[in-house]
Structure 1
Amino acid sequence: MAYFTIFASRNDIKDIGGLVHEVFADGFKVTGGAPGEKEMTVHPKGWFKNNKITIRVASEDTDPDYFANNIPGMTGFYDRIPFADEDLKRRVMIQISVINTMLAIETEKEYGKDDLERFIKLAAKVDGIGFIPDGTLLDRDGRVIVYPDGSSDAADFSPRACTRKIRGEDRTTPEGAERKQRSLAYLKEKQVPYVEHLPELPPLSELKVRSREEIARRAAALLIVIQYACDVAQEGDLAESKAFVTGLLDRFGVKDALTEAEKDLLEQAEPEYQDAVNLVWQYEAYWALLWALGVVDSLDFPDHPCDSKAAIEAVSSCSGFDEFLERTALRRAEDMLDEADKIYRLHWACVNDRIRGREPAAGLNESVVMERRRALFWMIGYRDEAWDDISMDT
């Protein structure tokens, strides 16, 4: 017998059977895999191919004793490995701490390179990591996260955690359930895939929606600093650009509405190109702020960038912050929460397609979706997270 194990952090295991069927669709016969079934067998087709594969699926819900007994041992094993990179060790330990799903793969004979590639493909589809019996961990691309001697080929590994592990057990409320169903109806209309188990957002009574002035100050400050980020990305005259942007921040009196990351970008002698590009994408977050302030009529389906010319004009046409604020009228908190719920589910669709190597459904632009989510979640006060720290879990 030979073994390969996939560990993951997932909200449930209902779709794993289907993912196994996808991976072994060509040249194999798969038995089992219906929702609720914990074991599948995979038989290669052909006279001279007889290496039977058995896949057993377990989760904290179906086999709590396994996880209670084995995860502490796994933690201790990797804690003893002399990692060459201590930060990588920290990330590996975080990943182990949120594991709640296991796919135990057993082959009758030693598996070869082609089999291993399929196992890794399955790990990618379930968003998990691979474990080889000698203790080697593999990431979703088949790179080695860590060897038993502590070396690594994937120092950029990032842990993945499902929402159940981050927030605990999901709960439902009449308001949240109704909002969720409206969002799902919208996704159906747009022919965007979805999952029923993605949690509800909290009811409005549990959120602290930000004020019109706070949103307006964030919008003005963000637009202004984006102009500097554009010059950084386009290798413009940074001294001139910084002087211009600083003057605008003073004129509008919104310097204190900058985030720490934005302040850092302005203060860096040689700003990082990627930091600037990331900030330029926040035009999409700014557009959502303008919508909440009643400056933009509606939030279009997020399959294209916003109108940057109109976005700039919204603030640049004003002599100062007071004039800009006078032109705004805050939308209902219920409407903001509705949009936040929709974008949350659209983000799941983007991530799901990316993980599966598919083009985004309905032409969704994941960068637009993420930045719109940043603004909407910030405005509704979700978990009271700061602008730069908005969670992007799905």
Structure 2
Amino acid sequence: MKSSKKRKKASEKILKSLRVPINKHLPIIVDEAAVSLRTKEEIINRIIPLSIAAAKAMEAPPEKIEDFIEKYHANGLFTKEEQKFLSTNPIIENERIQYSWKLECIWLLLWSVNLISDLDAPAGTCDADFVFETVLLSSKQELLEKSAIKPVGEILDILDFTYRAHWAVREAQLNDWVTPSSLEAGVVYERHYTLNWLVNYMEEEWDDVSTST
């Protein structure tokens, strides 16, 4: 089991290789023994509504959205904010952008249950077509049967790296610096948000997850 200090050191080494600024004073993150991960069913139940909302943001026809909701019996899976978005017509542009970015959350969640094998550095956006094909062409039961949660240590490795990368992104934004080319700010934010939900950070539910750095 890797200690939080070793995890911090490993993340800083990777960030240095990517030429990303490092804040040595950022604290260590939680130890593995103290983490209570979301269950596999909780993760699948988050992937499904996020995928439906993202499909609407990507301009799927209204009748298709209704078909997805019926297929997954998804009415009880949406958060209040997602319900509001799904009931909005026409879509407000900033909300369309916001829910398009949720594809990055889905990508991270698919990785967390081994429905995608690799998670690249957050330098570019994910494969939206692959997300929709993987999720919306499968039944909920198929998703549950095909998935298996990654070890908590692997998830914490990514969380620690993303937490420190997010600090660098925010510093660039606050100081009007150029964001390191090895980081895409939106991807870093969505991954940090999703990882904090995955590890039950401060026991916050999806609409209220914080990403402090």
Structure 1 CA distance for aligned equivalents of residues 70 and 36 of structure 2:
28
In structure 1, list runs of 5 or more residues that go unmatched: 1-173
Q: Is the 8 A contact 1:228 1:242 kept in 2?
A: yes
TM-aligned CA deviation for residue 302 of structure 1: 0.7
TM-aligned CA deviation for residue 253 of structure 1: 2.6
Matches within 5 A, 1:28-177: 175-177=3-5
Letter in 1 for 2:50: L
Give 1:66's aligned residue. Answer: none
In structure 2, list runs of 5 or more residues that go unmatched: none
2:26 counterpart of 1:202: no
Match of residue 190, structure 1, among 5, 18, 38: 18
Cα deviation code 1:30-69 (max 9, x no counterpart): xxxxxxxxxxxxxxxxxxxxxxxxxxxxxxxxxxxxxxxx
More strand by share: 1
2:110 counterpart of 1:290: yes
Give 1:221's aligned residue. Answer: 49
Q: Is the 8 A contact 1:187 1:346 kept in 2?
A: yes
TM-aligned CA deviation for residue 204 of structure 1: 2.4
2:73 counterpart of 1:245: no
Cα deviation code 1:271-329 (max 9, x no counterpart): 422112111111111100010010111111111000111111111331x2101211112
Structure 2 CA distance for aligned equivalents of residues 220 and 373 of structure 1:
19
Q: Is the 8 A contact 2:111 2:117 kept in 1?
A: yes
Cα deviation code 1:319-365 (max 9, x no counterpart): x2101211112111111111111100000111111222221113311
Percentage of matched positions with identical amino acids: 28
- Report SS of the residue matched to 1:362: coil
Q: Is the 8 A contact 2:121 2:182 kept in 1?
A: no
Give 1:322's aligned residue. Answer: 141
Structure 2 CA distance for aligned equivalents of residues 375 and 392 of structure 1:
9
Cα deviation code 1:246-283 (max 9, x no counterpart): 22122123332212111011123444221121111111
Structure 2 CA distance for aligned equivalents of residues 203 and 329 of structure 1:
21
Matches within 5 A, 1:285-364: 285-318=105-138, 320-364=139-183
Structure 1 CA distance for aligned equivalents of residues 152 and 126 of structure 2:
23
Letter in 1 for 2:26: L
TM-score (norm 1): 0.52
Q: Is the 8 A contact 1:253 1:321 kept in 2?
A: no
- Number of residue equivalences: 212
Give structure 1 regions of 4+ aligned residues with deviation exceeding 3 angstroms.
none
Matches within 5 A, 1:14-25: none
Structure 1 CA distance for aligned equivalents of residues 182 and 161 of structure 2:
16
2:202 counterpart of 1:383: yes
Q: Which has the higher contact order (CA 8 A, sep 6+)?
A: 2
Greater Rg by CA? 1
TM-aligned CA deviation for residue 179 of structure 1: 1.5
Cα deviation code 1:358-379 (max 9, x no counterpart): 2111331110110111111111
Structure 1 CA distance for aligned equivalents of residues 155 and 74 of structure 2:
23
Structure 1 CA distance for aligned equivalents of residues 69 and 29 of structure 2:
35
User: What is the CA RMSD across the aligned residues, in angstroms?
Assistant: 1.7
> Residues 209 and 288 from structure 1, CA distance in 2 versus in 1: closer, same or farther, beyond 3 angstroms?
same
Q: Is the 8 A contact 1:303 1:364 kept in 2?
A: yes
Letter in 1 for 2:125: P
Cα deviation code 1:188-246 (max 9, x no counterpart): 22221111111111222322210111101111221111111222xxxx7xxxx333212
